[in-house]
């Protein structure tokens, strides 16, 4: 890919004026959606469990399900968890390792992967946009919590380079490339719908105000809604988008699945209160399909085959969050815990779902202030089934 094709921030198309979002009554029979609340949530119990299992003393985050490699996404997730737990000492260790080992020479973005025990642990200097967004989001919250000017300055630098290197104008919309290199083809783009991290766009807009953060959010919601396939109309892990006009398609070179990448689409839609996103409802309906003994770990979007095993704790956490965001309430006790996660990625999804649950201030069903009551879902049995403690 040639970066000359990318359109730098000042020349991006004008972002659309934000439209007023409808509540869930517009898409789910009158149920009331949740919206994120202001302020920083604190995670006093689960962060120590995550830190003990996956963060080394020098600040490297271990992907225990992938040969103990490290990557910018994992470093960014740990940074966010640390700042939410008000653990500045660990935050600074993780940030120091990240910036020392993964820093790219030409911008403020990060190389995407570190492989221990190899001759060149950082052999590919391409970035991963989701990882950069996570790091910049965490830096923004660190600046707001601790008043550290250096954290704010680095978040701004990363935000500028993200807009410059991975944001592309296409017609009247803008798209987010998964990395600065390798995803721009002569006749199409390769995109990952789960890289549109809605809360990160909003955080960066606080330190680097630009209408393009909102435009990216709207573009991501629209992409996830348009790029749905198979029996359950689910978003895939990877999609192609034709240059110019045309509909998204399943990307060659990756399994045509709703799986570990795409599970973050409903996570970020729920976290952002975007219950108007069709992909959020599709995911909940897939997970609650009565034909499943338990929600499958993946679905093939060409053949409609499903995994012969259920999703892990991380996927179940996202399922619970997605359901609660649509219904307007949920049982926090049913959220999986870090201790039940088999590896780093599942534990990360558990932690992110817990943070989102707190940010959305999800009330318990039937509690004062919980709107509506559980009885209000009588016409939505797929929601009631997820509320039941006996579901699993």
Residue 260 has pLDDT above 80, yes or no: yes
Contact 59, 93 (CB under 8 A): yes
Give the three-state DSSP class for 178. Answer: coil
Residue 257 has pLDDT above 80, yes or no: yes
Provide CB contacts within 8 A for 354, sequence distance 6+.
43, 46, 317, 335
> Smallest Cα–Cα separation from 156: which of 2, 359, 3, 9?
9
Amino acid 202: pLDDT: 98
Among this protein's residues, is 130 annotated catalytic?
yes
pLDDT band at 17 (very low <50, low <70, confident <90, very high): very low
Contact 244, 299 (CB under 8 A): no
C-alpha–C-alpha distance, residues 177 and 192, integer Å: 8
38, two tokens: 């202001």
Task: State in Å, rounded, how far the first CA of the chain is from the last one.
Answer: 47
Which residue among the candidates 46, 63, 87, 130 is catalytic per the annotation?
Answer: 130
Amino acid 20: pLDDT: 30
Which residue among the candidates 46, 63, 73, 132 is catalytic per the annotation?
Answer: 73
* Average pLDDT over the chain, rounded to an integer: 86
For residues 27 and 213, the model is more confident at: 213
> Smallest Cα–Cα separation from 270: which of 391, 365, 354?
354
pLDDT digits (tens, 9 = 90+) for 85-103: 999 999 999 999 999 999 9
Amino acid 366: pLDDT: 78
Residue 107 has pLDDT above 90, yes or no: yes
Amino acid 209: pLDDT: 98
Residue 327 has pLDDT above 50, yes or no: yes
327, two tokens: 């219904």
Amino acid 37: pLDDT: 60
Among this protein's residues, is 73 annotated catalytic?
yes
Kindly list the structural domains of the chain, giving each domain's residue range(s) and its CATH number in brackets, ordered by start. Answer: 43-360 (1.50.10.10)
Amino acid 52: pLDDT: 97
pLDDT digits (tens, 9 = 90+) for 31-60: 345 666 655 555 556 999 999 999 999 999
């Amino acid at each position: 890919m040639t970066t000359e094709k990318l359109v730098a921030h000042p020349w991006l198309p004008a972002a659309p004026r934000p439209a007023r979002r409808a509540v869930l009554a517009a898409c789910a029979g009158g149920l009331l959606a949740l919206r994120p609340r202001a302020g920083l949530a604190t995670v006093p119990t689960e962060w120590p469990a995550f830190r003990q299992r996956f963060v080394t003393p020098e600040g490297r985050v271990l992907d225990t399900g992938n040969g103990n490699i490290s990557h910018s996404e994992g470093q960014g997730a740990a940074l966010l968890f640390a700042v939410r737990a008000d653990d500045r000492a660990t935050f600074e260790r993780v940030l120091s390792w990240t910036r020392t080992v993964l820093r790219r020479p030409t911008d403020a973005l990060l190389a995407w992967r570190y492989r221990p025990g190899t001759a060149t642990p950082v052999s590919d200097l391409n970035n991963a946009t989701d990882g950069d967004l996570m790091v910049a989001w965490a830096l923004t919250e660190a600046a707001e919590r601790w008043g550290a000017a250096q954290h704010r300055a680095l978040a701004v630098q990363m935000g500028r380079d993200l807009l410059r290197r991975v944001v592309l104008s296409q017609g009247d919309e803008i798209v987010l490339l998964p990395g600065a290199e390798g995803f721009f083809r002569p006749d199409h783009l390769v995109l990952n719908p789960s890289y549109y991290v809605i809360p990160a766009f909003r955080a960066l807009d606080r330190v680097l105000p630009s209408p393009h953060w909102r435009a990216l959010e709207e573009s991501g919601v629209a992409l996830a809604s348009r790029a749905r396939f198979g029996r359950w109309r689910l978003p895939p892990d990877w999609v192609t988008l034709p240059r110019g006009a045309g509909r998204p398609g399943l990307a060659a070179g990756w399994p045509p699945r709703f799986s570990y990448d795409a599970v973050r689409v409903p996570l970020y839609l729920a976290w952002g209160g975007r219950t108007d996103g069709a992909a959020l409802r599709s995911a909940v309906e897939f997970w609650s399909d009565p034909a499943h003994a338990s929600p499958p770990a993946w679905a093939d979007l060409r053949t409609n085959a499903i995994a012969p095993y259920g999703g892990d704790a991380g996927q179940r956490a996202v399922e619970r969050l997605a359901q609660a965001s649509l219904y307007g309430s949920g049982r926090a006790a049913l959220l999986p815990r870090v201790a039940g996660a088999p590896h780093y990625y599942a534990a990360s999804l558990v932690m992110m779902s817990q943070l989102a649950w707190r940010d959305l201030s999800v009330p318990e069903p039937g509690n004062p202030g919980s709107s509506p009551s559980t009885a209000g879902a009588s016409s939505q049995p797929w929601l009631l089934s997820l509320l039941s403690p006996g579901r699993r």
